[in-house]
A and B are shown apart, each in its own frame.
Chain A
Amino acid sequence: MSADPWLVLLIGGLYSCAFYMMLRRSLTKTLFGLVLLSNAANLLIFVAAGVTIGRPALVPDGLQAPEGLVADPLAQAFILTAIVIGFGVLAFAVVLIRRAHEVLDVDDFDELKDAEQ
């Protein structure tokens, strides 16, 4: 409970860092921004669903259901899916940027301006 405001601050900070890096001209930095943004969004889901200490969503041996409150397993499932999907997407983006460096021979988005004319 008491840590919540700090976590919210952290998430905002991570978003800020990600936004800042996405505003850069360098292809590589923009990519790093995306990595950070993906992490930040996952953490946001986690925190928004409410955090619990010391009660993982497991059914103890011999019982049919956990006793009392446990951490929200659905939110965790969402995040797990999102982590893996995010990895897939970012992996592709990494390859794309690598290839873009080879083909375009620049690391500056401003120099790709003319490609739109």
Chain B
Amino acid sequence: MLLMLAVIIAGAVSAPWISRLAGGRGAFALVAVPVVALLLLGRMASGEAAEVLEAYTWVPGLDVAAAFRLDGLSLLMASLVLGIGVFIVAYAAKYLEGDERQPRFMATLLLFMAAMLGLVLADDVILLFIFWELTSLTSYLLIGFDHTQAKARQAALQGLVVTVAGGLCLLVGLIMFGEMAGSYRLSEWVLQGEMLISQPTSGWALLMVVLGCVTKSAQFPFHFWLPNAMAAPTPVSAYLHSATMVKAGVFLLARLYPTLGAHPGWQWLVPLGAFTAVFAAFMAFRSDEMKKVLAYTTVMALGTLTLLIGMGEAQAAVGFLLAHALYKGALFMLAGVITHETGAKALSGVGGMRRHLPWTWGAALFAAASAAGVMPWVGVIAKELLLESALGHGVWVVVAAVVSAGIVGGMLFTVALRPFIGAPRAPRAPEAIHEAGPWLLAGPVALAGLGLLLGLVPGLADQVLVPAARALGAVDPAALALWHGVNHAFVASLGSLAIAALVWWLWPRTLRWMGTAGWDRFGPERAYDASLGALGAVAVGVTAKLQSGLLRRYVAITLLSTIVLLLSTLLLRGDAVVWPQFSATISVPIVLAAGVLVLAVLAIRLVDALSVALILGAVGFGVSLLYLWFSAPDLAITQVMIETLTTILLVLILFRLPRMRRLSSPSQRMADMVLAIFGGGIVSLVLWQVMAAPSPVSISEWLIARSMPEGHGRNIVNVILVDFRALDTLGEIVVLALAAMGGYALLKSPPNTGERES
């Protein structure tokens, strides 16, 4: 299976060059890529085994392997991905012929194909997730194909954000299950279903996984990105956004059904799917643009699939999935042909094209017939399976299924018929319109024809559907049959056809009223836009508050953090706070300390820079006297020297400065004073806690003892500096050198960005 992927990736990587061959016709040769992959798939599936496992080590430390599994379900999906892929590549080669962006497009399309194939074949969930995200990414690049248009960029981002956000949830869910199961293989999860379900957090994990699936498969309320994704070129819409990628979510749900289907939460998929189906059918009904109609009918189909998987109806699900992929792929490509040839995007803007586009019309009729469930297309089998399944689950499910299927059938007939009947009219002059060539029509004709063939010979469909249903846990799926006699399902089917006919009749009459924008003022898409707007406002607001550009506020927040951290620890952890006892006896250090403090306070009151510099010098001298008093002559000397230097420097450099002004308001000064006193107070308090602790045995005793014998110096402080801790002193010298260099660079050169002009 790795080989298949390698073939497609190699095709994708070489696509930009191949596309440019033969004067830009090379893109047609890329059809060979999915064909070869399809042949490989066929060879692999022809074996006897019910499933083929293939695994390569990748990241053993994380339990991640390149593990693949080919069973009935993945075979069905892989065949669709590659089979439809063949026609899509051919279609795209023609559709974008001569477009300078075609090479990139073909590469991205093939890359998507590889990602989608990997997704359906993966057995390792992390591997599956990787491919999952890659389909989102390639989908983003393809939706944004027309990237100079703001609308395309927005639609691309919307799709990406919704699917990746869901993807993140999925990742969390998968990891939760992985950690519960002790394994990251789907094939091993199946064996532990009961254990997984019984875990206390399995509900959360399931919710996360389902969130991932329903965003990808555009279920309500996350459906809105899909119709917008129709900004992409038609081959992309046909392939990614109807036949393959959007099925990924449903596919994963189906994959997990045998493992987690018994979870009580699983039932929620039924109402979700049913509601999505009805809602989307309604939305399709009020659309005019062909691709929008098709997009909403796709959402409806995905809702139906979710509904079926929620009910655990394996055979109906895979049957519906197959039939839908065939007709919807065909219809999308045909809609693209109509737009390509006539220039019309809206249904109301085109009519009477039956003579101009006869093949297109024929294929469209075939596909729509299958979609609406008309005898003897394969769609009718799928629909009856659906209705039969629904019958077992209550009336309202049946109603939802009949109504949604009916509306969608009617709308698809509208798409397939209205452009062709009546008087000829189109944006382009009718004389200039002629049938598309074989490259564009091969796909839809083949897919629509296949829909009929599978309907007439259901045994053929059984070949893939029965193993797929088995993979979903169906014990003994019945063979498909076109005619089941007059039963409930048949009656319901007739009912949906009646609704379809009604929709056909109603649509042109109500469009003007239904299509008004007033309907769009509410709903999840508005919520998405609103939350994006709100997010932007919050981001700007929070950032403006925090990163205000005002240094004093930065200092204040930093200081406040210091106070909070220290105070909370002081009060809430460890021993009770110890308070100092002040003795009334006056001694030399107390006088010194008082003097220093008075000077420091004086310094903050003055506004003349020069005086402040001098006073700060005096503070430094006071401190050096304290050092001297408390047995630190070296410190005192150094302090005096350094303080002198600092004062000279300050005076020299700053003497030209203007008088400092009072810039802050009195209330600001008061607030700052409170904060500063709090800050200093907490430092004092912490210091006192440390001093109240028992004195430790210091390593300096060892140093004192060895200073003379081993360090050969009587001044122990000096010996430490030049010998025991010489590295610190080296660093100190480096700091001085750096200060000199930096100061030199600053003083010497005039301003300049530092960047060389290019």
Contacts and interface: CB of A to CB of B under 8 A. Distances in A.
Interface of A: 2-17, 19-26, 28-30, 32, 35-36, 39, 42-44, 46-61, 63-66, 70-77, 79-81, 83-85, 87-92, 94-99, 101, 103, 107-110, 112-117
Contacts of A99: 746-747
Interface string B262-289: 0000000000000000000000000000
Interface in B51-87: none
Interface string B586-628: 0101100110110011011000010011001001100100110
Contact of B646 (A28, A44, A74, A90): A90
B687 interface: yes
A105 to B, nearest CB: 10
Contact of B679 (A2, A16, A32, A42): A16
B121 to A, nearest CB: 50
Nearest to A114: B549
B684 A17 contact: no
A91 B741 CA distance: 11
Contacts of A91: 645-646, 649, 739, 743
Contact of A13 (B589, B597, B649, B746): B597
Interface stretch (B36-44, B315-323, B447-455, B655-663): B655-663
Majority SS at the chain B contact face: helix
Interface of B: 547-552, 555-556, 559, 580-583, 585, 587, 589-590, 593-594, 596-597, 600-601, 603-604, 609, 612-613, 616, 619-620, 623, 626-627, 629-635, 638-639, 642, 645-646, 649-650, 653-654, 657-658, 660-661, 663-664, 672-673, 675-677, 679-681, 683-685, 687-688, 690-691, 695, 698-700, 703-705, 707-709, 713-717, 720-721, 725, 728-729, 731-732, 735-736, 738-739, 742-743, 746-747, 751
Contact of A5 (B581, B704, B735): B581
Given A43-B626, A80-B634, 15 more contacts: A5-B582, A8-B687, A11-B684, A13-B601, A14-B596, A20-B673, A20-B676, A29-B660, A35-B650, A49-B698, A70-B716, A74-B699, A84-B732, A87-B645, A92-B739
Contacts of A9: 580, 582, 593, 597, 684
Given A17-B604, A66-B704, A81-B721, A53 B688 contact: no
Given A21-B604, A23-B555, A113 B549 contact: yes
- Please provide the 6 A-B residue pairs with the shortest distance between their CB atoms, ordered closest to farther: A16-B680, A12-B684, A113-B549, A5-B580, A20-B676, A71-B631
A23 B664 CA distance: 10
A30 B609 CA distance: 12
Contact of B552 (A73, A76, A109): A109
Contact of A8 (B550, B587, B691, B714): B691
Majority SS at the chain A contact face: helix
Contact of A107 (B629, B653, B660, B716): B660
9 contacts: A9-B580, A9-B582, A12-B684, A15-B680, A17-B680, A29-B660, A70-B631, A84-B638, A117-B549
A18 B729 CA distance: 27
A58 B715 contact: yes
B637 to A, nearest CB: 10
Contacts of A117: 549
B638 A80 contact: yes
A4 B725 CA distance: 29
Contacts of A66: 704, 716
A61 B604 contact: no
A77 B717 contact: yes
Contact of B649 (A43, A61, A94): A94
Which one of B680, B704, B721 has the highest number of Cβ atoms from chain A below 10 Å of its Cβ? Answer: B680
A70 B687 CA distance: 22
A36 B687 contact: no
Nearest to A25: B663
A43 B623 contact: yes
Contact of A88 (B580, B620, B663, B735): B735
A97 B650 CA distance: 11
A42 to B, nearest CB: 8
